[in-house]
Amino acid sequence: MHLRTNLVISVLMVVVTTLLLGVVYPLLVTGLAQALFPDRANGQLIYRAGRLVGSRLLGQPFSSPGYFRSRPSAAGPAGYDAAASGGTNLGPTNAALVDAVRARADAARLENPGIPVPIDLVTSSASGLDPHISPAAAAFQVPRVARERGVADAVLRQFVVEFTTPRDLGFLGEPRVNVLLLNLALDERYPAWGSSSPANR
Amino acid sequence: MTAHGWAQIVVFLGAVLLLTKPLGLYLTRVFDRRRTWLDPLARPVERLLYRLTRVDETHEMRWTEYASAMLLFSLVSFIVLYAILRLQAWQPSGNPQALGPVPPFLAFNTAVSFTTNTNWQAYGGESTVSYLTQMAGLAYQNFMSAAAGIALAVAFVRGIARRESATLGNFWVDLTRASLWVLLPLCLAGSLVLVSQGVVQNLKPYDRAVLIDPQTVTTTDGTGRETKTEVTRQVIAQGPVASQEIIKELGTNGGGFFNANSSHPFENPTPLTNLLEMIAIFAIPAGLVYMLGELTGSRKHGWTVWAAMAFLFLAGVTTAYWAEAQGNPLLAADQQPSALAPGGNMEGKEVRFGIPASVLFATVTTDASCGAVNAMHDSFTPLGGMVPLVNIMLGEVIFGGVGAGLYGMLGFIILAVFIAGLMVGRTPEYLGKKIEAYDVQMSMLAVLIFPLTVLLFSAISVISPSFGTSSISNPGPHGLTQILYAFVSAAGNNGSAFAGLGANTPWYNVALGFAMLAGRFLFIVPMLAVAGNLAGKKRVPPSPGTFPVTTPLFAVLLVSVVLIVGALTFFPALSLGPILEHLMMGQGRTF
């Protein structure tokens, strides 16, 4: 039999190909990526006044009423922990899911009675880092944010439209609004708002 | 269900269709050792590699040596990966977060998982494994377990194509050529395309961002006392993601760099990257089906098998799309799709993908033995979640894993021609080879290993409250589905999960580890035995009694065999899991 020969080859093969495919290949790709697309290869980080405030690709938690809120998140205790990604993994008939969604929807209805609550606003994403909400979920929050910021509804609605990304190539995925970018722009364009602003706490 | 949704499904399948022939022809040339345009670059590397590893590239192997070389290679790979995981804390560089050693049971499970092309993950990537472990341990195995799968499929096709031959080729040559000619060049190009669309690729430590809106988290301890914690920062995990992301899909591996896998925006930032990643999953399996036709001299047979696979794919994606777009009647919110909202069951799904791109991904990843996910299957509706489960139960032969899908389907093809032979009362033939008792016995053995493994381990788990059902996170019928899915995924070498199941326990780490080993190697060895046996046979000319394998009738028969074997085996379990849950959901029951 060729057992001994093939065992020796196995060991040598693992060593040599690990160097090629496990070290040279990823380092080569890293070098090329950093040279060709430095911003994208590093996570499209956003800086304000020299401080890192997030990534264009990752969502953040917002609870102050003057901000548009992100979707609920199962990543970390405060949500949106970008070092602990993940979903709730609650099943469709799990009472914990059904009750949580009902509580969130009830709370949302209080603030905006009579308008249907978009499903994405009250359910958790797969990654726990979903940077987006649907245009409907953004529109749903316009009255609250407009009131807090002292801006006319119609003006804010137009502002949200400017931050709406259409489907890729016209048919891929869904239209969406990046909550972090929207809120950052909101702070720049309409900075004055009430005592609940985090800046005044 | 929307027009945009259907357009995505049609464009996806169309792209796979267009890639099938050129990739198939290329694969044929590579494994026939004919000249390709890549030879000036790859051939010198290949020669150097053989010199360093003492491979004699002219040596031909019988099926027994081919199998033992593959088994030895997998064994050495397992030992090395286990060592890398256990010794992680002592890595000289590439571990900026200073992550410690991976615990023994978890390291065993993970090492088995990646060397069997399963990529089941009982760990969270960003919190458990270092950059060096990801690159040199996990991503490396993504390459080699996929290359080994391709090699085995090539050997099997040679078994059909060769006449009166004692040998099936050389495992080391097939393994090397699959890496150098197929996987590496596609990955180099593909990873840069992904980076250009936003997939990260760096070696820096995790970033720390300042939250715009700091959060106060209230936690209650055992005595009911409340503690408030202020969260002011967002830690952003980074890493060499793109280089691993592309081989994870092309090699139908599926192990995510991050815990959230391809739903993480750094792995899959846009609907466009999502489409590219799905195409990458099906590309090589579809090309291998064309290669089957090309190498055996019956292109029409290749396309007939392709059509049977495409039919099963469309049936799956339609069912899942319907179920998820219907939504969950228990959720008290607006689930109507519109121009402004995705609608449907959005729990565990990303807004940028919505329903269609999520169910398409779920179908593709389980048709193939990939196991990457862009949505959480555990949170799918009962019937929507049953589709990925059934896809794996059918043996992942709908294009299937790289290599594994083709040799799995060849097992079913042998059964189909055998059944056709019984019906017309003649010795069955397949592409000029008589199919005899030994071939059918071995194929049947291979086909039966999978349900045996799944049902045995699942049964032990569901009757064991202390270590089995204690890991269930969703009570009621869904809990059974969680356990069933875990063993189906492991034995099918898929790697996706109903991820709520707490699988990082000694029992699940070890039991799932053995399910993965059985699902891969106890399947491969009998299939190689069939290949070796077929290679030695004479070619018989077709006669009026030959059942043609190039007709729509054959495609129908093949689909029926796949469905009957899968459905009969697992229907009782399915009816107690997802089907029961669906009925109870309709009645408004929660658990």
Q: Is the pLDDT of residue B342 over 70?
A: yes
- What are the boundaries of each domain within chain A? 3-38, 43-193
Q: Distance between CA B4 and CA A54 in Å, rounded?
A: 32
Q: Distance between CA A189 and CA A185 in Å, rounded?
A: 6
pLDDT of residue A1: 56
Q: Is the pLDDT of residue A158 over 90?
A: yes
Q: Cβ contacts of residue B164 below 8 Å, gap of 6+?
A: B536, B537, B538
CB environment B399-417: b (16+ within 10 A), e (fewer): bbbbbbbbbbbbbbbbbbb
Task: Reduce the DSSP state of residue B92 to 3 states and report it.
Answer: coil
pLDDT tens-digit readout, B397-415? 999 999 999 999 999 999 9
Contact A172 B203 (CB under 8 A): no
Q: Distance between CA A108 and CA A122 in Å, rounded?
A: 9
Task: Dump strand ranges (E) for chain A.
Answer: 45-48, 51-55, 132-133, 164-165, 176-178
Q: Is the pLDDT of residue B251 over 90?
A: yes
Report, as an integer, the average pLDDT of B322-330: 96
Mean pLDDT of chain A: 94
Q: Distance between CA B56 and CA A56 in Å, rounded?
A: 52
- What are the boundaries of each domain within chain B? 3-203+240-586, 207-236
pLDDT of residue B1: 87
- Is B465:B483 a contact under the CB 8 Å cutoff? no
Report, as an integer, the average pLDDT of B127-155: 95
pLDDT of residue B47: 97
Q: Scanning the structure block, which residue is given the tokens 């609870």? A: A63
Q: Is the pLDDT of residue A61 over 60?
A: yes
CB contact B331 to A (< 8 Å): yes
Task: Reduce the DSSP state of residue A52 to 3 states and report it.
Answer: strand
CB environment B161-191: b (16+ within 10 A), e (fewer): bbeebebbbbbbbbbbbbbbbbbbebbeebb
Q: Scanning the structure block, which residue is given the tokens 């059509």? A: B307
pLDDT of residue B423: 86
Q: What is the DSSP letter of B371?
A: -
C-alpha distance from residue A135 to each of A116, A118, A121, A142, A177 (Å): 13, 9, 10, 11, 6
Closest approach of B448 to chain A, Cα-based (Å): 29
Q: Cβ contacts of residue B547 below 8 Å, gap of 6+?
A: B417, B420, B421, B424, B428, B429, B554
Indicate if ipTM > 0.85.
yes
**Helices B140-161 and B271-295 meet at what angle, rounded to 10?**
30
Q: Is the pLDDT of residue B338 over 80?
A: yes
Q: Distance between CA B280 and CA B559 in Å, rounded?
A: 24
Contact A26 B244 (CB under 8 A): yes
pLDDT of residue B565: 87
Mutate which of A125, A163, A177, A196 to disrupt the B interface (most B C-beta within 10 Å)? Answer: A125
Interface A:B, Cβ pairs < 8 A: 416
Share of chain B above pLDDT 90, in %: 90
Collect all residues of chain A within an 8 Å Cβ-Cβ radius of residue B4: 167, 171
pLDDT tens-digit readout, A103-154? 999 999 998 888 999 999 999 999 999 999 999 999 999 999 999 999 999 9
Q: What is the DSSP letter of B577?
A: I
Q: Is the pLDDT of residue B333 over 70?
A: yes
Q: Is the pLDDT of residue A19 over 90?
A: yes
Task: Reduce the DSSP state of residue B368 to 3 states and report it.
Answer: coil
| Segment among A62-71, A183-192, B108-117, B473-482 with least mean pLDDT | A183-192
Give A184-193 contacts, CB < 8 A, sequence gap 24+: A184/A46, A184/A48, A184/A53, A184/B212, A185/A159, A186/A66, A186/A67, A186/A68, A186/A145, A186/A149, A186/A159, A187/B212, A189/A159, A190/A149, A190/A150, A190/A151, A192/A149, A192/A150, A193/A66, A193/A148, A193/A149, A193/A150
Q: Distance between CA B271 and CA B260 in Å, rounded?
A: 16
Choose among A41, A84, A91: nearest Cβ to B124. A84
Closest approach of B475 to chain A, Cα-based (Å): 7
Give CA B355 to chain center in angstroms. Answer: 21
pLDDT tens-digit readout, B57-103? 999 999 999 999 999 999 999 999 999 999 999 998 889 989 999 99
B396: left (phi over 0), alpha (psi -120 to 50) or beta: left
Collect all residues of chain B within an 8 Å Cβ-Cβ radius of residue A54: 209, 211-212, 234, 236
Report which residue type is found at A136. Answer: A
pLDDT of residue A31: 97
pLDDT of residue A200: 58
Q: Is the pLDDT of residue B226 over 90?
A: no
pLDDT of residue A20: 96
Q: Is the pLDDT of residue A196 over 90?
A: no
pLDDT tens-digit readout, B355-385? 999 999 999 999 999 999 999 999 999 999 9
Residues paired with A168 in a beta bridge? A172
Contact B352 A169 (CB under 8 A): no
pLDDT tens-digit readout, B509-547? 999 999 999 999 999 999 999 999 999 999 988 888 788
C-alpha distance from residue B590 to each of B261, B545, B587 (Å): 29, 57, 9
As separate numbers, helices (DSSP H) first and strands (DSSP E) second, chain B gives 20, 4
pLDDT of residue B541: 87
Contact B136 A80 (CB under 8 A): no
Q: Distance between CA B494 and CA B492 in Å, rounded?
A: 5
Choose among A10, A21, A57: nearest Cβ to B269. A57
- Is B136:A22 a contact under the CB 8 Å cutoff? yes
- Is B177:B204 a contact under the CB 8 Å cutoff? no
